[in-house]
Amino acid sequence: MSGEPQPQTNHIARWRIALVLGGFVLLLMLVQGRLVMLHTVKQPFLYEQGEQRTVRHEVQPAMRGSIVDRHGRPLAVSTPVVTLWLNPQQVQAEQLPQLARALDLSPAKLAQRVAMALEKEREFMYLRRQMAPAQAQKILDLGMAGVYGDDAFRRFYPAAEVTAHLLGIVNVDGKGQEGLEMAYDDYLTGRDGAREVVKDLYGNVVKQVQVTQVPEPGRDLQLTMDLRLQYIAYRELKAAVAAHHAKAGAAVLLDARNGDVLALVNQPSYNPNNRATLKPEHMRNRAIADLIEPGSTMKPFTVAAALQSGRYRASSEIDTSPGFIRVKHKAIRDHRNYGVLDITGIITKSSNVGVVKLAHDLGAESMWSFLADAGVGESTVLGFPGEALGRLPYPEQLDDLRLATVSYGYGLSVTPLQLAQAYTTFTEHGCRLPVHLVMPERRDQVCKRVMSADIARQVIDMMETVTSARGTGRRARVAGYRVGGKTGTAHKVGKSGYEDSQYTAVFAGVAPVSNPELVLVVFVDEPQGQEYYGGEVAAPIFSRIMAQALRLRQVPPDEQNPDWLKNLRVAEGPA
């Protein structure tokens, strides 16, 4: 009983064990097979899915370079801000009112926006862009699911409307839209950094996998502009444009020695820090983008061309009587009959008849080539967006009448900046300088020879008579300094040719005459009221800007024996 059944039990047991074990081994092999399959065949797919769920590619925005003036004062700077956004899929509806309160938004509106986004299955929605980091951190500290903050930068312009036209603006994504911000966008923009990180459910970075790109901040841009001079020019121009109820105005101040743009201002202007009140017509950089007919400010060039031809000298006499000259069907008039004038007198009195006679004697070809050399109708090559070229008719187009009008500045067009650049010809001994807005890395002075140094000197001396008691630009005078310049008043072109009662007033000049350091062009568009002549509207602005600019740049006064000096008593002292 006890011995017999046992082997049988054992036999059954062994069979069963084998079965069970076999079953287990089979299961094990199944699991192993699956494992091998997952690790080999399906590995790429699974790896990618895993990465997608945990690894995030983060962009670290690079800071945009600053723009500074010639002395390093900031004109445009970027500051870090935080952009708050929301993932509508993750946010909890009952937290929305609290979030809205914290952001000072209407809870109903926010709920509506989230509902809309949910409907379209969006996973991204801006809450607020460009927040101050401290403020944004408060919201992020509430720890709400689905609320995220991204680093970004915002641009500030400390000088606001004073430098607005020159600098331009950037859009909300930090891309240059206007002015130098646009022209030098690549230079100013850095390279955004990129890195791969592993994030947990709450968006915290738990592991940095790799840095694919270290952020490179943008480079700083230094301008040749002097902020103090820019302020002065802007203030004076603004006041004058307001006083004359003019439509617009512009002023360009150049360093006469190297063509640096020291100030470039426009009216009307805008505040680039506040986009809400932005008007497109205020954003026009008139000094660079607007073409004006220079009017009489071109006469010094006609006279210089006459002197350069060798047929005239400063003392040569021209008979301008009877005060008008008939060219084809048109009579070109002076203010009154000036009689016989020498070449200097033509500039002093701004005689149209005089320059027309000179131009006709010179001929279209030589007038054209002289003005073309002076840079009329040629781009100033600043790379500034919207820069106008100017226009100078070809010699074939210059019949007697057009040649006559060109001689006194009609029928050709320049920008105020081009006019200022052309005037550097006189200050730089007959050589026209290239103009700079951005501080050049090295200065190789390649100037274009337009006239001889001697003639340039003579023309400056002639222009000084314009600001004398008998000249048209008396009001451009600056106490203590000798100033030379030329007034210009041009009728504006309307629908039916030149308008009778709409003018542009221009004054272009240099100071101090003995050794010119500054060139200034002032342009006022459509001054209203009794005064509209260049000598009445633009010359006083010229005087005020120039007086302060000369003082700020510590230019020694060069006026010899002025009236007040006779009364000045210098105390006797040890020699």
Partner 1 sequence: MRLPAVALLLWLMVLVTALAQVVSSHHHRQWLVVWQQQDALRLQLLQEQTRLVLEKSTLTAHGRIDRLAREQLNMTDPQQIQVLTP
Q: What are the catalytic residues?
A: 296
H/E run at residue 516? none
Per-residue binder mask for partner 1 (CB under 8 A), 440-479, x = binder: ---------------------------------------x
- CA-CA distance, 451 to 250, in Å (whole number)? 28
**In this chain, which stretch among 139-147, 326-334, 375-383, 562-570 interacts with partner 1, using CB under 8 A?**
562-570
Q: Minimal CA–CA distance to 513: which of 476, 469, 541?
A: 476
Give the pair of three-digit tokens for residue 337.
């009959």
Owner of token pair 């360093």: 255
DSSP type of residue 547:
H
Of residues 78 and 344, the one with the C-beta less far from partner 1: 78
Longest dimension (CA), the chain: 161
Q: What residues pair up with 193 in beta bridges, in sequence order?
A: 60
For partner 1, what does the binding mask look like between residues 329 and 358, x meaning CB under 8 A? ------------------------------
* Numbers of helices and strands, H then E, in the chain: 19, 19
Here's the x/- map for partner 1, 533-552, by CB under 8 A: it reads as ------------------x-
Q: What tokens were used for 82?
A: 């935080």
Closer Cβ to partner 1, 277 or 560, answer by number: 560
3-class SS of residue 519: strand
Task: For residue 516, give the nearest of 481, 476, 560, 486 by alpha carbon.
Answer: 481
Sequence-ordered alpha helix ranges (H) in 318-448: 343-349, 352-362, 364-373, 400-407, 416-427
Inter-residue contact 381 to 504 (CB < 8 Å): no
Q: Contact 506/491 with Cβ under 8 angstroms?
A: no
Q: Which of residues 2-21 bind partner 1 (CB under 8 A)?
A: none
Q: CA nearest 551: which of 512, 514, 515, 520?
A: 512
Q: Is the CB of 230 or the CB of 266 nearer to partner 1? A: 230
Q: Kindly indicate which of the ranges 104-112, 163-171, 174-182, 203-211 contains the residues binding partner 1, using the contact rule CB under 8 A.
A: 203-211
Question: By C-beta, is 209 or 372 nearer to partner 1?
Answer: 209
- Asked if 227 touches partner 1 (CB under 8 A), the answer is yes
Instruction: Supply 563's token pair.
Output: 């009236």
* 203 binding partner 1? (CB under 8 A): no
Residues 407-426 that bind partner 1 (CB under 8 A): none
Interatomic CA distance for residues 192 and 548, integer angstroms: 44
Give residues 77-106 in contact with partner 1 (rule: CB under 8 A): 77-80
564 binds partner 1 (CB under 8 A): yes
Which of 98, 208, 212, 528 contacts partner 1 by CB under 8 A? 208
Binding residue (CB under 8 A) for partner 1 from 115, 206, 278, 453:
206
148 binds partner 1 (CB under 8 A): no
Check residue 26 and give left, alpha or beta (phi > 0: left; psi -120 to 50: alpha).
Answer: alpha
Question: For partner 1, which is the closer residue by CB, 78 or 350?
Answer: 78
Interaction of residue 22 with partner 1, rule CB under 8 A: no
Nearer to partner 1, 117 or 549 (CB): 549
- Kindly indicate which of the ranges 8-16, 108-116, 153-161, 464-472 contains the residues binding partner 1, using the contact rule CB under 8 A: 153-161
* Secondary structure element (H or E) that encloses residue 525, with its range: strand 518-525
Minimum CB separation of residue 79 from partner 1 in Å reads: 4
* 242 touching partner 1, by CB under 8 A: no
Quick one: three-class SS letters along 407-438?
Answer: HCCCCCEECHHHHHHHHHHHHCCCEECCCECE
Per-residue contact track with partner 1, 480 to 509, x per CB under 8 A? x-----------------------------
Identify the residue among 1, 381, 469, 568 touching partner 1 (CB under 8 A). Answer: 568
**Whole-angstrom distance, CA of residue 269 vs CA of residue 92:** 47
Residue 156 as a binder of partner 1 (CB under 8 A): the answer is yes
Residue closer to partner 1 by CB (options 72, 383) is 72
Are 151 and 132 in contact, with CB atoms under 8 Å apart?
Answer: no
Site string for partner 1, 108-137 (x = CB under 8 A): ------------------------xx----
Binders of partner 1 among residues 27 to 66 (CB under 8 A) are 63
* CA 264 to the chain's CA centroid: 10
Q: Which is nearer to partner 1, 188 or 371 (CB)?
A: 188
Q: How far is the CB of 305 from partner 1 (least distance, A)?
A: 36
Q: Residue 382: how many CB atoms within 10 A of its CB?
A: 17
What's the CA dihedral at 465, 511, 509, 407 to 10 degrees?
60
Counting residues that bind partner 1 (by CB under 8 A) gives 31
Residues that bind partner 1 (CB under 8 A): 63, 73-74, 77-80, 132-133, 151, 156, 158-159, 205-208, 227-228, 231-232, 235, 479-480, 551, 556-557, 564-565, 568, 570
